[in-house]
Chains A and B, each alone.
Chain A
């Protein structure tokens, strides 16, 4: 579904990604593990087209999207939940969730269908729907950011360190939601970054380890 071929990128003149290659099959749950500063966030931003590449290719569903402007990638079905939750504070939770659907001018029925799917797996979002995003707790905010990425991500969803800063109970809740979503959307490829591999291990099919902008290993776990 999503493939990176020798992606290289610089930030402020310094090489940050040096030939990152990875493959996410449709319906795969892939982890990208690495220490702080290893290049996880930059890899996701590269997939979203948010920074210029020095080399390499990004392919989605077999088609090259390397040159596709960043704002078109949402339309192609790639959802992204950045590291900090990055919600729009003055908007309500519902407005945050619906913003991409409105921007992409999805048909009302399609929007309703996606929203309902999100509410099914993240029922707490339905009760928070009319709250202002700025007033949410950290854990609630993470759930909304996940929901927002799912509204967009019909083909691939990128989650940047979703467990970071979550209390153990919440992290478990998040992992459960992720598992449910993964099962319910068998075509959507999930890419999750994490600096702490334990949290993800029980969920993932494939784990990539990144260090200083290079993929060290791709180890395909036997599917549970």
Chain B
């Protein structure tokens, strides 16, 4: 063990840092997926497409900003703008004109509809951005690297991934927990999640809550995608792998669990990057091994409580 560590310690450190960075992104998608499912009771297979489109938009807007000669720090604004534009346009369109028609239908039909939507959005990405990898490195170069001490060693790592991404994820986590528990709008969302009919009888416009929650979830996923653009090339299929990972996180954490989703995203993110580093052929299965192991022991998820459901 000591000897193994001597040889592989730095690699393990790198894998942990990779894992933390990817966990931050997965969390942004999973937490919105969770929230949207809690409120609308529709499992949105196309939720990962917001991540992909947010990423492509960030690259396009970022490259455009550079081309017109805006200062480098504007690339951060590009990320945020891409997320808001993507979520605020696609979210309301999809909720109003598509999902709203199927709330009363069986969940199988709802799944088929969102799956169809996913395929449409996937093709739309190919039409708009092509199939060649798209990337936009601006913010990473801008933030430089930091030396991360690890087991007596020092690992140089880019500050964007090791500082900015976790900070954004933690702010999202804290902000969301505060919002849901401490504000009226948050309590309204929780009330609709718990009991739509009782909430309606209290004067809550559930339709409006559906629209806003769905849009908010879309913005979060798009922000995850936008934040991923500086460190990963965007290619077709990114939406699919993202939604699959987020499903794994939500199922493992338990529905309605926000802090739980953060911890689970960390487990799955690190599990995957450790696998990539040491046993690359296991990369794809590790998230599901974690999920299956957890669900066998706790069917309601790691943090799910069977009785007090959802948030």
Which of chain B's residues have a CB closer than 8 A to the CB of A100?
Answer: 202-203
Which bracket fits the contact residues of B? 10 to 19
Total interface residues in chain A, CB < 8 Å: 27
Contact B311 A90 (CB under 8 A): yes
Q: Which of A109-165 contact B (CB under 8 A)?
A: 134, 148, 152
Given contacts A88-B191, A90-B190, A69 and B308 within 8 Å (CB-CB): no
Which of chain A's residues have a CB closer than 8 A to the CB of B195?
Answer: 86, 88
- Pick from A16-24, A74-82, A197-205 the stretch touching chain B: A74-82
Which of chain B's residues have a CB closer than 8 A to the CB of A103?
Answer: 184, 188, 202-204
Contact A71 B308 (CB under 8 A): no
How many whole Å from A47's CB to the nearest CB in chain B?
10
Which of chain B's residues have a CB closer than 8 A to the CB of A74?
Answer: 201-203
Interface presence of A37 (CB below 8 A) = no
Which of chain B's residues have a CB closer than 8 A to the CB of A80?
Answer: 201
- In the assembly, what is the distance between CA of A74 and CA of B203, in Å? 5
Contact residues of B: prevailing secondary structure: helix
How many whole Å from A82's CB to the nearest CB in chain B?
6
Contact B204 A89 (CB under 8 A): no
Given contacts A86-B195, A102-B184, A134-B308, A152 and B202 within 8 Å (CB-CB): yes
Contact A95 B187 (CB under 8 A): yes
Which of chain B's residues have a CB closer than 8 A to the CB of A183?
Answer: none
Given contacts A50-B197, A82-B198, A88-B190, A71 and B184 within 8 Å (CB-CB): no
Interface presence of A171 (CB below 8 A) = no
Q: Which of A46-79 contact B (CB under 8 A)?
A: 48, 50, 69-75
Interface presence of B194 (CB below 8 A) = yes
Which of chain B's residues have a CB closer than 8 A to the CB of A99?
Answer: 187-188, 191, 202
Contact B202 A50 (CB under 8 A): no
Instruction: Return the contact of A69 from the options B190, B197, B205 (Cβ within 8 A).
Output: B205
Contact B200 A50 (CB under 8 A): yes
Contact B202 A148 (CB under 8 A): yes
- In the assembly, what is the distance between CA of A100 and CA of B198, in Å? 10
- In the assembly, what is the distance between CA of A95 and CA of B186, in Å? 12
Interface presence of A11 (CB below 8 A) = no
Interface presence of A208 (CB below 8 A) = no
- Hey, what's the 0/1 contact readout for A36-48 against B, CB within 8 Å counting as 1? 0000000001001
Interface presence of B79 (CB below 8 A) = no
Instruction: Please give 5 more A-B residue pairs, beta carbons under 8 A apart, in addition to A71-B204, A88-B195, A148-B202.
Output: A45-B197, A50-B200, A74-B203, A100-B203, A152-B203
Pick 16 A–B contacts, CB within 8 A, sort by A. A69-B205, A70-B201, A71-B204, A71-B205, A73-B201, A74-B201, A88-B198, A90-B190, A90-B311, A91-B187, A99-B187, A99-B191, A99-B202, A100-B202, A103-B203, A152-B202
